Amino acid sequence: MSFVILPDLVIEEIVKSLSQKEILFIASLSLRARRRLSRHTKSRGVEIRIVDDRFDSCVEIISDDQLFYRIKIDTHRGPSNSSWRFKTLIPVWFEKDNLISHWRTDDNAFQDILDFLMEIFRIEEVSFEINLENSCSAVKCLEHCALKNLKIGLINWKSFIESDEMAKRVMIALKGAPNLKIKGFNSKSFFDNFHLFRVDQLKIEDAMWMTVENVMALRNCKKVHLEDVSFKTSDISRIFREFKKDPGEMQELHMDCRNEIRLEEMVKGLYIDEEDKFVRHKIYFNSNGTWFSLSKLRLAVKIAKEF
């Protein structure tokens, strides 16, 4: 008997005994099968990880912290005897816990796969791992997630973002991500929009190109870690004074410096409320009732709002 003509009560009982992978396979049969199935599977939560790499682009489906299936995106293979119905019929090959899907172009592959999964499961979070200088498909998927009001998890962009145009799109797409890790950018010309960022945790691995103004504009982020900054002591002092004056949402700013930073020069002319006798090179300041700390360890400087 065809699955789609079974009574709802029967389908509900069948679904209880199905694994997540089996649900995927049934949902791929037809739009009608997917609709009948989704009435009973939307309570099942999954996390999605979008991976875009030079050698491997895929959508990973995670349940209970375990990867249970991976849908790979391929644009090179030839005809196949099998197909899955996403928005359209897509040729597929099966490989252990991987499904290899063949697309003419990868422009909308991530969105189509994500929409397919949204029809079946409750998407708890979408995270991204990108290892390309320019990934239009990943940015389009990020924009699609924002349009669908999906919760965004960690975004880890592992390569330098090369072009100004791509960087502008990345800036807009990533500005509200709660957890963002970027390798860096190879161009400074457009970086006057850091004030748009509303990130809980931001890490930039190569921040040598950043200016003092760039850093001060990040005050709408909560925790910021900048590696390999090229600031001098006077630059760090200026950042700290601005941070004291108007911290915004920022709770912590950690900078790994290329240059030697002198703590005593940084705080010259400032009234020190308290010096930590147990932690060397840590100083406390009070500004309008709010406590701040400034600490230094080797080449790292940390500015924090104390609670």
Say what the pLDDT of residue 263 is. 80
pTM of the shown model: 0.81
Query: Which pLDDT band, with edges at 50, 70 and 90, does 255 fall under?
Result: very high
pLDDT, mean of residues 224-231: 92
* C-alpha distances in Å from residue 57, one per residue of 2, 99, 249: 34, 12, 36
Question: Can you read off the two tokens belonging to residue 5?
Answer: 């003509």
List the chain domain ranges. Answer: 1-41, 45-190, 221-307
Q: Tell me: the pLDDT tens digits for 123-137?
A: 999 999 988 877 788
Mean pLDDT of the chain: 84
Question: What are the tens digits of pLDDT across the range 53-108?
Answer: 888 899 999 988 888 899 999 988 777 888 998 988 999 999 888 999 999 877 88
Give the residue-averaged pLDDT of 155-166: 76
- Choices 1.10.3230, 3.40.630, 3.30.420, 3.40.50: CATH for 45-190: 3.30.420
Give me the mean pLDDT over the 218-241 stretch.
92
**End-to-end alpha carbon distance in the chain:** 64
Band the pLDDT of 191: cuts 50, 70, 90. Answer: low
Reading the block at residue 294, the tokens are 């400034």
Instruction: Kindly report the backbone phi and psi dihedral angles of residue 147, in degrees, each rounded to the nearest multiple of 5, phi listed first.
Output: -65, -35
CA distances from 43 to 15, 16, 131, 205, 294 (A): 11, 11, 33, 38, 47
CA 251 to chain CA centroid, nearest Å = 20
pLDDT at 186: 62
